[in-house]
Amino acid sequence: MSPPNNIPYIPSRLDSKVLYEYAGKLLLAKELPLNTPLLQENFTKIPSIKRTLFYQECLRCGNRQSHLFGKIPCAGCNKIHSYCRNCIEMGRVLECEPLYYWIGKEPIWPVFDSPLTWRGTLSKYQLEASKRIVQAVNRLEKELLIWAVCGSGKTEMLFHGIEAGLKQGKRICIATPRADVVRELKPRVQAAFQEVPVQALFAGSDERAGSAPVIIATTHQLLRYVKTFDIMIIDEVDAFPYHHDSTLLFAVNRAKKEKSTTIYLTATPRKNLQMKVAFHRLPHIFVPVRYHGKPLPVPKLRLCFSLKKDLKQNQIPEILKEWLTLRANPNRQVLIFVPTISLANAFAEKHEEFQQLGFISITSVHSEDPLRIEKINQFRSREIDLLVTTTILERGVTFPSVDVIIVDAGHTVFDEAALVQIAGRAGRSSADPTGEVIFLHDGKTEAMASAVRSIEMMNRRGGF
């Protein structure tokens, strides 16, 4: 039944649902229902593209690079003007249309007495990190870095910190550069806080309102928020594209409140964060041991002289075949990392060769593969026993029992962080806490050497 339309709109207070949805947002005209007068009163217009003598700036994404602005003969205003190409995936910012910026009051977010429904236990190291996060939240510390090895159970370490925030009615965001990671995190966080609304935001997500106290989002989605979050948790802070794209840093910084706590999570901090740690400019805590208490598998380097020639002809190198047959535990599934999409596809076509080596179901996966989510799930359920992949599977995904080989580990796509992350795919479960990691190369690079050093360093810190 629809309400009778002769009842006047009472502008005393916003319908709370609308309030939670729009508070703290920075929106395009298209994203704002302009027929709600009170909403309009709570938003103010600001120009979308600012011009100075030397550059233009998109006030939604901070872009100032001239090649990321386009010119459009606009049928809306009949003028030729700029638009931002940098943030166009989030809806087009046109120079002739203002942005709408929330100036209304902040809603009061619910206070939860005991929001944590997760009943698992934490390892000694996890517990230490967890306590440190709770402390940072309660004391409103500005930033904290959690430097935790792959497979240390980062998500579980966050739960008590999130709990502490929710008990104080704080607004919490977990941001990560990759949509796949958002998809993976959402059910785990929701299961841990069953009574708390949790929303996942990424390009193409079903949920769009972004009105929950706990938001899990890709860093891009944060472009729609201004000074909104009390606790900002940035997962995989070193991951592409976050460390490449200044837009994402801009988005994260603008989305948090002036007084807020930022928690960075990473297994492989980039040099800039490591420097800040070394100079005591960034409080941090190490988690050097995996949750199952076993050391990280240390990669072995295997030299292959014919590598470049083999790859050029899309041949599987003999050394790779040999390794596949001589593995210590043939029950493990195999992940083969290759540097390019075309190589991934070419290898996966060699069914017969792999079948002769005892593999039945072989496929490839990469970032542009429309079936990638299905394939990852099939690999996890062991319907696929050998998966050829690009760096898309370097992080954020967990398989219980795999051996890993990187073909052409010296290729530039495999930087130190990528190599450490890939090595971290092996030995993830307590049922099979080890696994082989091979770097197949035709000349050792600094990245390979550093990756091995940093894994050994973490193992030493963990007391192994």
- Kindly tell me which of 223 and 458 has the beta carbon lying closer to Zn ion: 223
Binding mask 62-101 toward Zn ion (x if CB under 5 A, else -) reads -x----------x-xx------x-xx-----x--x-----
Query: Which residue, among 446, 436, 438, 389, has the nearest Cα to 412 in the 3D structure?
Result: 446
CB-CB contact of 362 with 334 (8 Å): no
Q: How many CB atoms lie within 10 A of CB 208?
A: 13
Which among Zn ion, another protein, none contacts residue 58 (Cβ within 5 to 8 A by kind)?
Zn ion
Amino acid at 127: L
Of 17, 45, 51, 71, which one interacts with another protein (CB under 8 A)? 71
| Residues from 365 through 394 that contact another protein (CB under 8 A) | 368
Using CA atoms, how far apart are residues 398 and 428, in angstroms rounded to an integer? 7
Q: Which residues pair with 108 in a beta bridge?
A: none
Find the shortest distance in angstroms from Cβ 91 to another protein.
Answer: 8
Which among another protein, Zn ion, none contacts residue 26 (Cβ within 5 to 8 A by kind)?
none
- Kindly state whether residue 88 participates in binding another protein, applying the rule CB under 8 A: yes
- The β-bridge relationship of strands 333-337 and 256-266 is unpaired
- Kindly state whether residue 61 participates in binding Zn ion, applying the rule CB under 5 A: yes
Which among another protein, Zn ion, none contacts residue 89 (Cβ within 5 to 8 A by kind)?
another protein
Region of 50-58, 271-279, 404-412, 438-446 interacting with Zn ion (CB under 5 A): 50-58
| Residues from 48 through 67 that contact another protein (CB under 8 A) | 67
Query: Which residue, among 125, 161, 129, has the nearest Cα to 233 in the 3D structure?
Result: 161
Amino acid at 300: K
Region of 80-88, 167-175, 200-208, 435-443 interacting with another protein (CB under 8 A): 80-88
SS (H, E, C) 94-159: ECCCCEEEECCCCCCCCCCCCCCCCCCCCCHHHHHHHHHHHHHHHCCCCEEEEEECCCCCHHHHHH
Using CA atoms, how far apart are residues 388 and 431, in angstroms rounded to an integer? 24
- Kindly state whether residue 76 participates in binding another protein, applying the rule CB under 8 A: yes
Residue ranges binding Zn ion (CB under 5 A): 58, 60-61, 63, 74, 76-77, 84, 86-87, 93, 96
Residue ranges binding another protein (CB under 8 A): 67-68, 70-76, 83, 85, 88-89, 92, 94, 368
